[in-house]
Amino acid sequence: MNRTTTPGPRTDEEIPGYLAALDLPGLADVHVHFLPDRMQQKVWEYFDAAEENYGWAWPINYRFDEAARLQLLRGFGLKAIPALSYPHKPGMARWLNAWSAQFARRVPDVLHCATLYPEPGVGSYVAEAVAGGARLFKVHVQVGGFAPDDPLLDPAWELLAGARVPVVIHAGSAPLAGNFTGPDLVARLLARHPGLVLVIAHLGMPEYDAFADLAEAHPDIYLDTTMVGTDFTNGFAPLPEAYIRRLPGLAAQVVLGSDFPNIPYPYAHQIQALARLELGDEWMRQVLWSNGARLLGLA
């Protein structure tokens, strides 16, 4: 296999040139967040206290207003902009879904996203979101504090599996472990709902290999690259060399994720971190565009 790898962009300004060198039409990033402004400010305040919450600083690199963040992402090359959100308590998901639907109507290149929470009525509002055109869901089991196979979620999972709508799920135990993080509960979820299309956020860090095992066993399981391989996460969840050697075999199931805007480094550094794995330009083309474009239904 030809493993020639074009060096990744060092700055955000170099991203368009790098994509041109790989002959890519753009980036298909599946892990981008947009929230109602007040909620976004609360999220940034949480990261401002990261030394207390995590034990290390987490400065926000893109603390800009909504319009500026949208313009930056377009400049990076995103052809569709996800607006992922997730609740941390009952009663939030329906409200967030209404906001997300309105946001997607207001901004044409924003991808209509939605979320869910184990509560009465979840099947109803997930059905409403899918019928309204939601194309990507987000679930965060550590923040939400729930098991992904909670029986309350069965109607929602059944509907999402039938509709083939992908779900980005943060279930790995980094940067913080929770009572319901780890691969075992995701495996139980897939045993109950094998038709689900799941995107494992952060490659499932730090349980990289266990989540890769799930992807190898389930062709509809994807792994997103959010924050992995960066100088920041290499400090607490580095990619093992043996795992990196598995990634070429998973080339069709790895998709770009960034966590924009809540990242403590330039967006370009995520792409650079993937390029320096030296898995080859063709692997990068699949990860940066082809796989995500297929998953999100982009032309």
**Structure confidence by residue, pLDDT tens digits, 94-104:** 999 999 999 99
Q: Is the pLDDT of residue 299 over 60?
A: yes
On whether the CB atoms of residues 155 and 123 are closer than 8 A, the answer is yes
- How far is residue 106's CA from residue 79's CA, in Å, rounded to a whole number? 16
- Site of tokens 């990033």: 29
> What is the number of alpha carbons within 13 Å of residue 117 lying toward its C-beta?
19
- Looking at every residue in the chain, the average pLDDT score rounds to 97
**pTM of model > 0.75:** yes
Residue 2 confidence (pLDDT):
59
**Closest by CA position to 5, among listed 278, 243, 257, 194:** 278
Beta carbons within 8 Å of 274's beta carbon, 6+ residues apart: 8, 225, 229, 256, 284, 287, 288
Residue 220 confidence (pLDDT):
97
Mind listing the pLDDT tens digit for each residue in 224-251?
999 999 999 999 999 999 999 999 999 9
**Closest by CA position to 9, among listed 254, 299, 265, 286:** 265
Binned at pLDDT 50, 70 and 90, residue 3 comes out as confident
Q: What's the token pair of residue 195?
A: 């038709």
Backbone dihedral region for residue 135 (phi beyond 0: left; psi -120 to 50: alpha; all else: beta): alpha
**Closest by CA position to 142, among listed 202, 232, 215, 217:** 202
Return the percentage of the chain with pLDDT > 70, whole number: 99
- How far is residue 55's CA from residue 110's CA, in Å, rounded to a whole number? 34
What is the CATH number assigned to the segment(s) 12-293?
Answer: 3.20.20.140
Comparing 2-16, 119-133, 179-193, the range with the smallest average pLDDT is 2-16
Q: Is the pLDDT of residue 64 over 90?
A: yes
- How far is residue 81's CA from residue 295's CA, in Å, rounded to a whole number? 13
Q: Where are the domains of the chain?
A: 12-293
73 to each of 58, 62, 162, 266, how far by Cα in Å? 21, 11, 31, 12
- How far is residue 87's CA from residue 189's CA, in Å, rounded to a whole number? 19
- Helices 208-217 and 183-192 pack at an angle, to 10 degrees, of 20
